[in-house]
Structure 1
Amino acid sequence: MGTKQSNIALLISGVFSLTALPTVAAESNQDVTIDETITVTGTRFDRTSEQQLTVINTIERSEIERLNPKSVADVLETLPGVSVVRNGGAGQSASISLRGTNSSHVLVIVDGVKVGSATLGNFSFNTLSPESIERIEVLKGPRASVWGSDAIGGVIQIFTRQLKSDEWYVGAEYGSNDYIRGSAGVGVEHGNGSSTLTVNREQSDGYDIYRGADSEKDDDGYSRTSLSLKGSQQLDQHWQALWSGQYDRGNTQYDDIYGSGGADESDYANYIWNLGAQYQGDKLTSKFTVNQSRDYNENFRGDNKDVARADFETMRKQVSWSNQYLLADGLNLNGGLDWSNEAVLGDYAQDERDILGAYVLVGKQWQQLLAEVAVRYDDVENIDSETTYNVSFAYQFDEHWRLSATTGTAFKVPTFNDLYWPNSGNPDLLSETSTSYDMTLNYSRNTVSAYISVFKNDIDNLIAWAPTGEVDDNGWDIWKPANVNNAEISGVEFFTKFEIFGFDNQLAYTYLEPEDKKTGEMLIGRSENEVNYSLSYQWHDFDLLANYHYQGKRFAGYGLYLEAYQQLDLGIGYQVADNWQLRLKANNVFDEEIISATNYISPGRELFFSVSYSAF
């Protein structure tokens, strides 16, 4: 690690020696007034950008529309520190990594509800349509002290569409691989409240995603349908009722990569619902929610649904009570309780567990200095309990420059598969744990904003398959999950956006040194360098967008690397009339061969045309 650490030190010292460096604002949406950006993921309550003590990138609906993505992974990949590994195109599985951590080290929340599989340990981003999304917040670094398990790398919170009363839209799109989409949404007023209902349907014939020697040679298509409802009702001066629901149903075709007659298709049917009440007083804000989520997947062979059939289901019930109290000028107290019950379908030695958590967060402002301390305790049934913390400071030098530093711990509870999978689970597993450090310098002035963040994350008790020292009846070694691995991830993350001659620019660069401390090798699936650049321009009724992504070579294990690749996407939108808009999008313009997972091929050049009507 000596050489690697010196590389980072040189890079850091070089960057901070640039006195004219345009650095600051963690937000990546393209609003000009950075200070008006509000985020909730850091503390569960509204905070302006200058009140946040950790890096939070945001993407708003307007930016999603310009990107015209085919998957949530396409949106997330435009952000600094976010890396995507795809098993094919939009409808296939994709792993999201924050600052080099595992995909299972990312807590995913949809409208305040924790989602994902308790058997696999992560969330299937391919099941959610970008058309259903209003806003995304991506928090970097551990936030277990506020949210609990899984937030080792960070938190991704997704907010579904919300329209005002009498607002509505309809849209349609057609493109490569016989892709077709139809979507609609409407906002309805009811007394002192409103609700939004949206529906989206899309499908594609796909292409052959895998190039293994024994794999199937056929197109792998997908279809998905999303229905969402979101609303609120003001009951009186202080009380408000809240509700949301999301239903996603679809089908994905993939390849039996070993040609063994196994499953090559899956159906999924996932839902969430959330009911809540919020009290807003002069000093106290209190929110109580009850919710449930389901992650269901059925695998089978497409030519015979009874062959290789396997059903997987996770049910999660959650109750949360969160509070924010203004004790005095500049002194805030946050705290609350969380209870959840996770249950899985299958022949497990234990098929459900309860998790109870309690947290408290104190924030204090002294003129230019802002400090925050958070502590949380989680008791996980039949597994070790965990106490996590965050300590953060920020100093505002002047109206343009701000320096913040934070350290914290986080954990990831073992999955039901790790613990109780029939004949191979290990019920003695401990939670994976981490300790991280982060320092961020921010700059903001007029139409220029940027930040540079230096970070380090030490992760212990990583779960991996390992021999138990026993043999089976045939003399073969018995392998089971065990807490055998450790990792150290350090890096630098840079982001800036600025305007030149009417052109809006966004540039992001991430440098990673992700080391497996057991082998001394780079962590599998990571690369040292990743670059994103976006250029947009508004001219009369036209808007233009160019997105460039560079992914450095990825370590594939056994001394092998996947080749680096780059991708350029171009888009143009035309406002035909006040309400009508046409949009043309070309992905992978240079038809690059993109392989982000061994033998899995991303789409070549694609072209999409959409038309939409919005009554806003």
Structure 2
Amino acid sequence: MGTQPSKIALLVSSLISLSAFSAIAAEATTPTTNIDETITVTGSRFDRSAEQQLTVINSIEREEIARLNPKSVADVLEILPGVSISRSGGAGQATSVSIRGSNSNHVLVLIDGVKVGSATLGTVSFNSLSPENIERIEVLKGPRASVWGSDAIGGVIQIFTRQLKGGEWFAGAEYGTNDYIRGSFGTGMEHGNGSTTLTVNHEQSDGYDVYNGAPVENDDDGYKRNAISLKGAQQINQNWQAQWNGQYDKGNTQYDDVYASGSADESDYANYLWNLAALYSNDKFSSKLALSQSRDYNENFRGDDINVPVSEFETKRDQVNWSNQYLAANELTFTGGIDWSNEAVKGDYAQDERDIFGAYLLVQKQWSKLLAEAAVRYDDVENIDSEVSYNASLAYQFNDQWRLAASTGTAFKAPTFNDLYWPGSGNPDLISETSESYDLTLHYTADNIRAYISVFENSIDNLIAWAPTGEKDDFGWDIWKPANINEARIQGVELSANFSVFSLDHQVAYTYLDAEDKQTGGELVGRSENEFNYQLSYIWQQFDLLANYHYQGKRYVGGTDYLDATHKVDLSVGYQLNDAWSLRLKANNLFDEEIISNQNYFSPGREFFFSVSYQAF
């Protein structure tokens, strides 16, 4: 389906509207508040300022995460433009994250640079991650396979764990609806020219009955979540530094089985990662060698008989990453490296491990007001295929406020072990899903306003879906297996604006999507045409106030059915007793709206939480 004239008009009018809006906001804002320069690493693997990035990257820092007081990582991501969340209940339930309309398994997730997630399902368990252990989140929009490899079709999410200086520490406690309890502690330990941060967190909730369709199990679905993380660095001399980090997440989730009576309704997980790295740097050259391992482990069983597992899944991923950056003369930068990983899964698979090798090169050049970037990467996935991915970007800085950036790129997603080798239904002849995208972004930055509008298109081919093979089983039924049969085209507009007016800080995020199934010409399942988020914050003496409104447009779920549009208002009020002690009251879904983002799975109703925290510097 080509772009209709009305949609072209919408994109043009959006660009014009941003120009007008930015000019008005610039006049209305007060000069006392400045938006700090944002340093990101996800775009190129090395620290770069926002002006050096040629892809859209949104970041959320610890201070804002604390004021949001989220109960899941999804609560943090949902406020960003272009990020859509689908939940099968509350904080402890299964959650999927989509970036710019892509599938949930088209998002690469990293924790402190280490790839995490299941190689059997191809997704990441966001419900197992604790927001309390997070320092910063970066979300990169659009394909970045040319730097990171497989999975980065829709974007990249990188989560950075907490980091404190020597002598700093914090502690907190919280109680809320459904007997929610949280306790957390973190401390920074200094050792010579280095420091290490240790954080621990425990959460639990009795939950509620998440499934409100036909009677299945009329019980509350609670969860427990424990997390511990360790992160540190040691400066050996002027040029050499050692870095290390590790994380362990362990917990339990109760859920409702909606497909078959007597199947699993409870799950234990125990995930971990560790990373050891050596970093060399001088004025011109930086090099980092990292060795890491991650595990994704999940065991499902009946809650009334926890000694008899129904299913067990485990992924272990060993990784070696060597990244380098050279600052040549005349504003020319070279970044490149080699990645190797081994994915091994537990189960009765015809093939239970594979090696993945990748090599990439990124070149960035600045000519006065013009910035150009090109990246290319080669990946070889054992027993599947090899892929070459690229990105090419240009940006022109009109003046101190306005910048226009354009980019194009390709990406791929390797088939999972379930797709390829699931006993009785896998298809070892599958190839990788591939995509090609285009992006045009207009940025505006002033003393206390930062805004952009982005127009994008992503075409995805060889999508894997279940299809009949033409064969029959012993009972005469059609045999279905995964096949590379689907295609999709996703077009959209993404708008973000952060600004201050009369001492009030505002954040506006809006996404328009036109997501088409190219096989049928119809809509893609699970996407909203419109999604909007507005956040208002205010600080007065010891008080701070944060109000967040989220609108999710109706979602297509197949046939002629849609999920209703939803409205959700959250409110967070904090009071600083002194330099160390603070109190916070948080209300989620303040107006008790009925919210469904996955058929018949209800998000929580109105919830209240009260927390006390102490922070020493």
Please, what TM-score do these two structures have when normalized by structure 1?
Answer: 0.98
Give the match's secondary structure for 1:20: helix
Q: 1:306 Cα deviation (Å)?
A: 4.2
| Distance (Å, rounded) in 1 between the aligned partners of 2:484 and 2:569 | 41
| Distance (Å, rounded) in 2 between the aligned partners of 1:370 and 1:515 | 33
CA offset digits 1:280-303 (Å, max 9, x no partner)? 111000000000000000000000
Q: Partner of 2:6 in structure 1?
A: 7
Pairs within 5 Å for 1:177-326: 177-307=178-308, 309-326=310-327
Q: 1:329 Cα deviation (Å)?
A: 2.5
In structure 2, give the amino acid aligned to 1:614. Answer: Q
What's the Cα RMSD here?
1.3
Give the match's secondary structure for 1:596: strand
In structure 2, give the amino acid aligned to 1:22. Answer: S
Q: Partner of 1:344 in structure 2?
A: 345
Q: Partner of 1:59 in structure 2?
A: 60
| Distance (Å, rounded) in 1 between the aligned partners of 2:517 and 2:278 | 45
| Distance (Å, rounded) in 1 between the aligned partners of 2:56 and 2:259 | 42
In structure 2, give the amino acid aligned to 1:474. Answer: F
Matched, 1:504 2:495: no
Q: Partner of 2:137 in structure 1?
A: 136
Q: Partner of 2:22 in structure 1?
A: 22
Q: 1:10 to 1:567 in 2, by over 3 A?
A: same
Q: Partner of 2:463 in structure 1?
A: 462
| Distance (Å, rounded) in 1 between the aligned partners of 2:252 and 2:4 | 46
Q: 1:214 Cα deviation (Å)?
A: 3.7
- Compare 388-397 and 31-40 and name the one that shifted more: 31-40
| Distance (Å, rounded) in 2 between the aligned partners of 1:14 and 1:409 | 28
Q: 1:488 Cα deviation (Å)?
A: 0.2
In structure 1, give the amino acid aligned to 2:338. Answer: L
Q: Partner of 2:567 in structure 1?
A: 566
CA contact (8 A) 2:494 2:511 kept: yes
In structure 2, give the amino acid aligned to 1:297. Answer: N
Q: 1:259 Cα deviation (Å)?
A: 4.9
Unmatched runs of 5 consecutive residues or more in structure 2: 27-31
Give the match's secondary structure for 1:53: coil
Give the match's secondary structure for 2:425: coil
In structure 2, give the amino acid aligned to 1:530. Answer: E
CA contact (8 A) 1:374 1:390 kept: yes
CA contact (8 A) 1:276 1:288 kept: yes
Q: Partner of 1:546 in structure 2?
A: 547
CA contact (8 A) 1:8 1:492 kept: no
Q: Partner of 2:29 in structure 1?
A: none
CA contact (8 A) 2:552 2:567 kept: yes
In structure 1, give the amino acid aligned to 2:21. Answer: L
Q: Partner of 1:407 in structure 2?
A: 408
- Compare 442-451 and 196-205 and name the one that shifted more: 442-451
Q: 1:503 Cα deviation (Å)?
A: 0.4
Q: 1:233 Cα deviation (Å)?
A: 0.2
| Distance (Å, rounded) in 1 between the aligned partners of 2:338 and 2:244 | 20
Give the match's secondary structure for 1:62: helix
CA contact (8 A) 2:33 2:500 kept: no
| Distance (Å, rounded) in 2 between the aligned partners of 1:335 and 1:512 | 34
Q: Partner of 1:395 in structure 2?
A: 396
| Distance (Å, rounded) in 1 between the aligned partners of 2:591 and 2:441 | 36
In structure 2, give the amino acid aligned to 1:518. Answer: Q
Q: Partner of 2:113 in structure 1?
A: 112
CA contact (8 A) 1:183 1:198 kept: yes
Q: 1:479 Cα deviation (Å)?
A: 0.2
| Distance (Å, rounded) in 1 between the aligned partners of 2:307 and 2:486 | 38
Q: 1:140 Cα deviation (Å)?
A: 0.1
- Compare 206-215 and 573-582 and name the one that shifted more: 206-215
| Distance (Å, rounded) in 2 between the aligned partners of 1:406 and 1:161 | 33
In structure 2, give the amino acid aligned to 1:248. Answer: D
CA contact (8 A) 2:186 2:199 kept: yes
CA offset digits 1:184-204 (Å, max 9, x no partner)? 000000011000000000000
Q: 1:120 to 1:32 in 2, by over 3 A?
A: farther
Q: 1:22 Cα deviation (Å)?
A: 1.7
Q: Partner of 1:28 in structure 2?
A: none
| Distance (Å, rounded) in 2 between the aligned partners of 1:235 and 1:374 | 32
Q: 1:211 Cα deviation (Å)?
A: 1.4
CA offset digits 1:35-68 (Å, max 9, x no partner)? 6210000000000000000000000000000000
| Distance (Å, rounded) in 1 between the aligned partners of 2:319 and 2:497 | 38
| Distance (Å, rounded) in 1 between the aligned partners of 2:323 and 2:265 | 43
Pairs within 5 Å for 1:443-454: 443-454=444-455
Q: Partner of 1:424 in structure 2?
A: 425
- Compare 206-215 and 598-607 and name the one that shifted more: 206-215
Q: Partner of 2:387 in structure 1?
A: 386
Q: 1:387 Cα deviation (Å)?
A: 0.2
Give the match's secondary structure for 1:318: strand
> Number of paired residues?
610
Q: Partner of 1:483 in structure 2?
A: 484
| Distance (Å, rounded) in 1 between the aligned partners of 2:265 and 2:143 | 36
Q: 1:16 Cα deviation (Å)?
A: 2.3
Q: 1:308 Cα deviation (Å)?
A: 5.6
In structure 1, give the amino acid aligned to 2:449. Answer: V
In structure 1, give the amino acid aligned to 2:12. Answer: S
- Compare 99-108 and 5-14 and name the one that shifted more: 5-14
In structure 1, give the amino acid aligned to 2:22. Answer: P
| Distance (Å, rounded) in 2 between the aligned partners of 1:308 and 1:244 | 32
Give the match's secondary structure for 2:146: helix
| Distance (Å, rounded) in 2 between the aligned partners of 1:455 and 1:308 | 45
In structure 2, give the amino acid aligned to 1:458. Answer: S
In structure 1, give the amino acid aligned to 2:283. Answer: D
- Compare 90-99 and 205-214 and name the one that shifted more: 205-214
- Compare 307-316 and 338-347 and name the one that shifted more: 307-316
| Distance (Å, rounded) in 2 between the aligned partners of 1:193 and 1:306 | 45
| Distance (Å, rounded) in 1 between the aligned partners of 2:564 and 2:545 | 30
Q: Partner of 2:517 in structure 1?
A: 516
| Distance (Å, rounded) in 2 between the aligned partners of 1:485 and 1:139 | 25
Q: 1:334 to 1:33 in 2, by over 3 A?
A: farther
Query: What's the % identity of the aligned pairs?
Result: 71
| Distance (Å, rounded) in 2 between the aligned partners of 1:368 and 1:88 | 49
CA offset digits 1:529-588 (Å, max 9, x no partner)? 000000000011000010000000000111210000000001100001110000000000
Matched, 1:127 2:124: no
Please, what TM-score do these two structures have when normalized by structure 2?
Answer: 0.98
Pairs within 5 Å for 1:325-336: 325-336=326-337
In structure 2, give the amino acid aligned to 1:15. Answer: S
CA contact (8 A) 2:35 2:448 kept: no
Pairs within 5 Å for 1:353-392: 353-392=354-393
| Distance (Å, rounded) in 2 between the aligned partners of 1:158 and 1:17 | 34
Q: 1:32 Cα deviation (Å)?
A: 5.3
CA offset digits 1:221-255 (Å, max 9, x no partner)? 00010000000000011000000000000000001
Give the match's secondary structure for 2:21: coil
| Distance (Å, rounded) in 2 between the aligned partners of 1:306 and 1:256 | 18
Give the match's secondary structure for 2:593: coil
Q: Partner of 1:613 in structure 2?
A: 614
Q: 1:339 Cα deviation (Å)?
A: 0.2
| Distance (Å, rounded) in 1 between the aligned partners of 2:15 and 2:159 | 33
Give the match's secondary structure for 1:426: coil
In structure 2, give the amino acid aligned to 1:591. Answer: D
Give the match's secondary structure for 1:17: helix
Q: Partner of 1:592 in structure 2?
A: 593
Give the match's secondary structure for 1:104: helix
